[in-house]
Amino acid sequence: MCHMEIELVLVDKCGTSKTYISQIENDTNNIKLSTLMRIIRKGFGGHLCLIVEM
């Protein structure tokens, strides 16, 4: 599967636009944590764990 096909699958699964996915990949748009969590959950079937150490 090529890069563009993967983007289109993410767009379909996550309900985002191809432009938004490209902006995230190219670091030209700041992503909200909730959006990142949705992409990981719906797009990849995973979950995000954050650990804060002080």
Take residue 47 and report the two structure tokens written for it: 């979950």
The 10s digit of each residue's pLDDT in 31-53 is 889 988 998 999 889 999 989 99
| Contacts of the segment 45-49: beta carbons below 8 A, 24+ positions apart | none
Has this prediction a pTM greater than 0.85?
no
Q: How confident is the model at residue 8 (pLDDT cuts 50, 70, 90)?
A: confident
Half-sphere exposure of 22 (CA within 13 A, CB side): 7
